[in-house]
Chain A
Amino acid sequence: MVRAPHTSFSEDRIVSRLEDPLIVFDTRGKVWYANERFWQFSGFAQDEIVGKTIKAFLPPQEHERVFGVLNQVVAKRNIIQDFHAVFATKSGKTIPVSFYASPIGNIKKGFATLSDMRQLQGLLEGLRHAQESLQDRVKERTKELEAKTHDLEDTQKALLNMLEDVQDAKARAEEERSRTAAIISDLVDGLLLLGNGGTVELLNPAGERLLEVTEQDAKGKKLSDFSSSIFLTCLAKLLETQKSGEELFRKELQVPEGQERALEVTSVALPGSNQSLFILHDITREKKIERLKTEFVSLSAHQLRTPLSAIKWTLRMFLDEEVGPLSQEQKAFIARAYQSNERMIELINDLLDVTRIEEGRYLYRPQFAQIDELARAVVQLFEEEAKRRNITLIFQQPAEKLTRVLVDTEKIKIVVQNLLDNALRYTPAGGTITLSFGQDDTHIVVSVQDTGMGIPAVQQGQVFERFFRANNAKKVDTEGSGLGLYISKNIVQAHGGTLSFVSEENKGTTFTFTLPIKQEIEEFLKKF
């Protein structure tokens, strides 16, 4: 503790130990006392401080202002608080300070304590920093929030877009569904959807009309639960006998005779579903047209037969010279006319056979026959013609005796006849026609092989169509009706057999037909 020599101010220990720097000054600003903290603070020694004016501790620009204020403290006995000024240390460093100044008793002196503002400023600075950093953080956070908001907005937008998309998709799906519904309901064909267990799930208006039952009545029930229409009953029967997984394609619904309406059923596979879809197609009109066409052909053919018969009979009378003798030339001409007429009759007969096949009226009279024997009789009819055309006709006797089969012998003869006739027509002179036979456990096989012009590859798919004639065949022979193979195929199929061929243009053709030995041929024949 150091005492101030020139002062009546009795310091005490408290003052000297004050934490803040303290000075005592008079009206002229002369310093009378400074405590230890002041020495340390200002950098001056005690004896360098006492006796100096306050100005010695202030930078020049602060002299007047600080002096004026402190003078007021002593002269007017004001107390000032928190008066900010700049302090100058011995080393010339300036320190911001805050003064607290008060007069002391009646001794015309006052004291002032200084607070180092640096700390405060540091604090403030710190605060400012803190504030700034807070602000920064707030800003950052705000930015983040903004970014997040942005993100959220984006997300929201995306969600809205998605929602829109979903709504669009939904709208589209609804549109699609209503379009599908419209198509289903407006469809000319009947649609029948059966669910698991064969219950009706959907029946469109056309289906309602064709089956004569409303969807409302049919829904959830089985077809066999109804007997409202003959078509429904027959459809139920058809589906019952249908093997599972077997597809129906344009199968005509078998209904008792006398029904004007005719229906075709097609099944549509719905993969991965227990449901089965059926399309009901009304073929009443087609059937009617087909029937009218058949009737027309049948009628015209009949009408043609009458005058042809008259011509035939007349020519025959001439040929038999019943109406007087003829010259050789006259006879030859009339014989040719008679042959032409015969061909015409054959053609008409073919046409009638076709219409009968199509009407299902082509009757069959089954009897047991030895096919090779039956064929031999036909071959004999062609021997003369083959010789005339210089074609070798070979009848290849079967190696083993063929099993007798149940056939309509007249119809099978027509098949052999048609095949031999074609072979002869379309095989050039010098060629060979071979008729051969075979047999396995289930079928008799008959082949007619020729070394003829063959059937052009592009036309081979049409061979069994009505009125089909191959391009190369038409050039050689203008007479064929194009009905023989159609009729033959129908005959063979009615027996439960098949008729097929292999052919190469300019090399030859082999037609082969099979006839079942033990199969339920009677079943087939019963149908006719």
Chain B
Amino acid sequence: MKRIVLIEDEKLLADLLKKKLEEAGYETTLHMNGADGLHAIQTIKPDLVLLDIVLPQMDGFAIMEALNKDPDLKSIPVVIVSNSGQPVEIERVKALGAKDWLIKTEFDPKEVVVKVQKQIG
């Protein structure tokens, strides 16, 4: 079973996503702040990371920078679940190696699953 680390601080969204991913057959762990999330990635070494940008303790950019510095974690695909969809933000996560991104207000949870499947099957 493929493992996903979901880092998202909005409880309702996080619960919905987790439910969707689990329904789609992914083992999903939820982490509500950046530091916990990074720690989870380091210990679990998941198949994919679903990452929010604005997070307590450590934001999405910082987590990506940390992953890029770690050869073991560098190759884990990251899909950004962003709130803003601002082009500057998207450019920045792309530069940091994000595989895909989605903007919360514009996507349905179903489509999140589609994006995940596209990355890890």
Contact = CB atoms under 8 A, between A and B. Distances in A.
B12 A314 contact: yes
A157 interface: no
Given A363-B87, A363-B88, A305 B104 contact: yes
Interface in A277-310: 302, 305-310
A352 B86 CA distance: 9
Contacts, number: 49
The range of chain B's interface size is 10 to 19
A363 B92 CA distance: 13
Given A302-B83, A361-B88, A363-B87, A310 B16 contact: yes
Interface string A105-131: 000000000000000000000000000
A308 B83 CA distance: 10
B13 interface: yes
A296 B29 CA distance: 33
Nearest to A311: B12
A313 B54 contact: no
Given A320-B110, A361-B86, A310 B10 contact: yes
Nearest to A303: B83
B108 interface: yes
A348 B104 CA distance: 13
Given A314-B12, A314-B16, A309 B105 contact: yes
A316 B109 CA distance: 8
B37 to A, nearest CB: 17
B117 interface: no
B18 to A, nearest CB: 12
A312 B12 CA distance: 11
A455 to B, nearest CB: 31
Interface in A299-357: 302, 305-310, 312-314, 316-317, 320, 345, 348-349, 352, 356
Contacts of B83: 302, 305-306, 309
A317 B109 contact: yes
Interface in B62-121: 83-84, 86-88, 104-105, 108-110
A309 B13 contact: yes
Contacts of A317: 16, 109
Interface in A343-400: 345, 348-349, 352, 356, 361, 363
Nearest to B91: A363
Nearest to A316: B108
Given A302-B54, A310-B10, A345-B105, A352 B16 contact: no
B84 A302 contact: yes
Contacts of A352: 84, 86
A349 B105 contact: yes
A318 to B, nearest CB: 11
Contact of B105 (A305, A320, A356, A363): A305
A313 B13 contact: yes
A308 B104 CA distance: 9
Chain A, interface SS category: helix
A356 B87 CA distance: 10
A510 B10 CA distance: 45
A341 to B, nearest CB: 9
A209 B110 CA distance: 60
A306 B104 contact: yes
B88 A313 contact: no
A444 B54 CA distance: 42
A317 B17 CA distance: 11
B109 A313 contact: yes
A310 B105 contact: no
A345 B109 CA distance: 16
Contacts of B13: 306, 309-310, 313
Nearest to A315: B108
Nearest to B112: A313
Contacts of B84: 302, 305, 352
Most chain B beta carbons < 10 A, residue from A305, A306, A320, A349: A306
A351 to B, nearest CB: 12
Interface string B40-69: 000000000000001000000000000000
Contacts of B109: 313, 316-317
B10 A313 contact: no
Contacts of B110: 316, 320
A470 B15 CA distance: 43
A307 B13 CA distance: 8
Contacts of B108: 312-313, 316
Contacts of A345: 105
Nearest to A319: B108
A348 B106 CA distance: 12
B103 to A, nearest CB: 9
7 closest A-B pairs by CB: A309-B104, A363-B87, A310-B12, A345-B105, A316-B108, A313-B16, A309-B105
Given A305-B104, A317-B109, 13 more contacts: A306-B13, A306-B104, A309-B13, A309-B104, A309-B105, A310-B10, A312-B108, A313-B13, A316-B110, A345-B105, A352-B86, A356-B86, A361-B87
21 contacts: A302-B54, A305-B83, A305-B104, A306-B13, A308-B105, A309-B83, A309-B105, A310-B10, A310-B13, A312-B108, A313-B108, A314-B16, A316-B110, A317-B16, A348-B105, A349-B105, A352-B86, A361-B87, A361-B88, A363-B87, A363-B88
